[in-house]
Structures are given as C-alpha cells and as structure tokens.
A and B are shown apart, each in its own frame.
Chain A
C-alpha cells in the first residue's frame, strides 16, 4: 500500500547514542485519521518531527505524497505537512495571532491580498477572528490551541500532525477542538494519551513503544484489548472498562 505518508524502516538515535526510533514502518492513506498512542519516551514526538524534516532519520525513508522528505524538498514537504506542537507557547512565537497565522504563508512567498485571504480563511476554520489581533499570552488555553491549529491550516497542508492536542484544555475547549478537527478533510495523525479522543476522532490507532510500532488496529478493537493497553501503559478512564464490575456503577 502506498499512502499519503509512507514511512519505511526509520531509525533515529539521540546525540548521546540512545535509540529512539528502531525501525518504524507505517503507511497512511489520504484522508485517514490515525491516533498514535504509547508511553512517554516511546518515540511518538520524535517520529512526528521526522515527518517534515526537523529531524533526519539515520536509516530508512519517509515520503509524503510521493515526495521524499529530504533537504531539497523541505519547502514542499513543510507546506504539505502541518505540525502542531504540544506546547502552544512554542507554536505561537509572534506578537499577535494574526502575524503567527501569516508566518507560514509568508515563508511560502505569499503577500498582500493572497496572504490576507489565507490568514482569514484559517482563522475562520477555528472561529479565531475575535482573538486574531491579540497577543498569544493573553489568550485562554482553548483559544491558544485553536490559534496554534490556524498557524498550520493557513499553509493549506495535506496532512495534519497534532502532538497532544487536548493537553491542558478544559472540557468545553476540548469539545470545541474535537468538533473542529472532525470537520477537517485532510489526513490527520493525532499523538495522544487521551483514549476517548482517539476513539471519537480516529478509526485507526497505532501504538509506539520502545521505538517501534507494536500494534496497528482499529481503535474500537484496541479499547477492548485490556492486555495490550496495559502492556503499553495505557488506561481507559475509570468506569469505562465494561469487562469488570465497578462498585460505583
């Protein structure tokens, strides 16, 4: 199967020699939404950083829509893959949200009206018009998360990679974000510890542990497989596990 994302035999070690990715193979088809689950230090974020060339694999290849992720294609790949970092304060580095949303398209060479259109369209998707001209540190957590999403939507990516998109959000903000993401047509990779989020958004889940993929299943099946969850330090919220009795139910 050749997908929009094709990862083959990718290996990566930290400068101190510790191996983080140990032969990862993963193919994702256009329009798919896939959850990447697994314990901390399992290599999820490291893999995400490979998808648009922030990190280079020490072995193996990655292609996005047939374009190899290599230095001569960075410009193209970084347009196609939108990476939303876990800490929104890393993602939002400009004085106002609008300037941040414009940063990517400006690097692509857009100016004037074409730029304004891109920015407004991206802000529209996340309902961000009302906070567009505010500095990021004056936004609520939910607004910051939506602003961070807009900064990559303005590049009109084909693939969205979201690192822990719901961390630090209150329940209402989490709900708004899920609804926004569910409406987006592009391929999505969602790195998360939030199993209900995975179930709601992503039909397919993969688990990374020890630098390799240890499971690639439908999310529904995964949540039934308590042994697999436990092996990978994953746990359903209390009370959601139907196989045992709970005194509170």
Chain B
C-alpha cells in the first residue's frame, strides 16, 4: 500500500460535483458511507440501489469507471480476507461447485465485499473531485478543532517535499549499488529514516522561526471565518436522505 500514498487521487475535471463546496461533499460522503455501513446484509436490493446511485454520480463527475476500478484495488487485502471467510467460517454448510462452504460465511463475504467496495467508491469519488486543501478547508468549516486543522495543513504542505528528499536518498543509495534483499541489510535504510527525521525536525524549527519573524504568536490567524454555504444544502440533503432512507427501509424490512 506504500506506493498509493505518494500522490493524490484528484482528477482534474469541471463537473457539477467538482464545483460543489467541499464541506457539502464531506457531509454527503459521510452520510452515504454511514448508511451503507448500517444496512443489513440481507437487503441485497439496497446495495444494488447504492451501487446504481454511485455509478450515476461517477458519470456526473466525469470519472472514468476504469479509474474507479483501479483505485478500488486498495481494498484488495480485505477482499482476500473476505473471500477466505466461507472456508474458515462456522455454522450450517452448503456445497458450491462441489466445495463445502459455510452459508453464514458466504453472507459474511458478501457483507464485507459490498460495504467495503461501496464505501471505498464513495471515498474515491470524494477525493477524485476535491483537492486536498479544499478537503481541509471543508473540515475547518465543519468545525474540526483549529489545532488539528493547522497541523494537517502543514503536513500536506511539506509532504511532497519530504517524500522528494526520501526519494533522493534512495536514488543516492541505489546509485552506489545498494540493492538490499534481506532485513539484515536494512541498516542504511533505517539510518536514512533517522536522518530524514532530523531534517524534518530541523525544518520545523526553521519554519517556526520564519513564522515568528512575521509576527506569529502561536495561533494560526484565520481570515474572516467562512459561514457554511447553505446553497448546496438541497443536493446534499437529497443524497443523504436517499441513502439513509434506503438503509432504514432495509433495517425495518429485514
């Protein structure tokens, strides 16, 4: 999963979804994943409905289905685990293609697969249509504590820089013929991790000095706090009600 972290998933487009306020998208995404998570697994129709709406949103966002599919591979380890369940699970068994599996286990597999894939699709849609600084801004508008927001903002700002430094260290090591295959050869990697920490910490101190030099007092100054833009409430509300309503109907019906 390491490689996936190094770049954002944003897809540059000009769709309605891209233009939505980030806080609206955050609320919508959260409402959708919570609804998906609480839907009972027997309500197969509900998951079909969610999938249809998400597919529709993907189309409106002009995200290629292939992009979504590739990004969904991030949940692969859990899918593997889910596929294993029928064989290690307990309870009543049945035969599928001549193999004895647990009935309850099959439901378990379905449950994890459906929820993990749908939930991840919602997250991928959110990140594909919202740039990282906007996500952070959305969190701030949704009243996530300021200290948490400030630290996160700095992390995002310096992430690429530090990842680049890491990359240069690795290139420098490879250029001198370092190609480790066993943990016993890992010392240079660990040392470079230590060196990278020292560099990061020292950069933190220099940035702090640069902040003090411009009148920093310990709190990040905030430009006049943005009020929550309610113009997009209708769309968000519709999505959340649609998903939550489905989840509730499914809960009652099963």
Contact = CB atoms under 8 A, between A and B. Distances in A.
Given A93-B157, A95-B133, A104 B209 contact: no
B191 interface: no
B206 A87 contact: yes
A104 B207 contact: no
Nearest to A48: B213
Interface of A: 49, 52-54, 75, 78-79, 81-83, 85, 87, 89-91, 93-96, 102-104, 106-108, 111-112, 115, 135-137, 151-152, 155
Contacts of A83: 210, 213
Contacts of A81: 213
Interface string B197-224: 0000001001101111111110001111
Interface in B137-166: 153-154, 156-158, 160-161
29 contacts: A52-B213, A54-B212, A54-B213, A78-B212, A78-B213, A78-B214, A79-B215, A81-B213, A82-B213, A83-B210, A83-B213, A85-B209, A85-B213, A90-B203, A90-B206, A91-B210, A93-B154, A93-B158, A93-B207, A93-B211, A94-B153, A95-B136, A95-B156, A103-B211, A106-B222, A107-B216, A107-B217, A136-B157, A152-B214
Contact of B221 (A75, A82, A106): A106
A162 B224 CA distance: 31
Contacts of B154: 93
A90 B207 contact: yes
A175 to B, nearest CB: 26
B153 to A, nearest CB: 6
Dominant secondary structure at the B interface = helix
Contact of B210 (A93, A95, A102, A112): A93
B38 to A, nearest CB: 35
Interface centre among B157, B203, B222 (most CB of A within 10 A): B157
Q: Pick the most buried of A78, A83, A95, A151: most chain B CB atoms within 10 A of its CB.
A: A95
With a 10 A CB-CB cut-off, give which of B133, B136, B161, B223 has the most chain A CB atoms. Answer: B223
Interface of B: 133, 136, 153-154, 156-158, 160-161, 203, 206-207, 209-217, 221-224
A85 B202 CA distance: 14
A37 B157 CA distance: 33
With most chain A CB atoms within 10 A of its CB, the pick from B154, B156, B214 is B214
Contacts of B153: 94-95
A102 B216 CA distance: 12
Contacts of B214: 78, 103-104, 107, 151-152, 155
A102 B223 contact: yes
Contacts of A152: 213-214
B239 to A, nearest CB: 28
Given A89-B161, A90-B206, 14 more contacts: A49-B209, A52-B213, A87-B206, A89-B203, A90-B203, A93-B210, A94-B153, A95-B133, A95-B136, A96-B133, A103-B216, A107-B215, A115-B223, A152-B213
A82 to B, nearest CB: 8
B215 A85 contact: no
Contacts of A89: 158, 161, 203
Contact of B215 (A75, A91, A135, A137): A75
Nearest to A94: B157
Given A106-B223, A107-B221, A112-B224, A95 B157 contact: yes
- Which 9 pairs, one residue from A and one from B, show the smallest C-beta to C-beta distance? A107-B215, A106-B221, A104-B214, A83-B213, A90-B206, A95-B133, A78-B215, A54-B209, A90-B210
Residue among B136, B156, B158, B210 facing the most chain A CB atoms (10 A cut-off):
B210
A105 B224 CA distance: 13
A49 to B, nearest CB: 7
A155 B213 CA distance: 11
A90 B157 CA distance: 11
Contacts of A106: 221-223
B201 to A, nearest CB: 13
A115 B222 CA distance: 12
Contacts of B136: 95
B77 to A, nearest CB: 32
A14 to B, nearest CB: 13
A108 B221 CA distance: 9
A62 B11 CA distance: 53
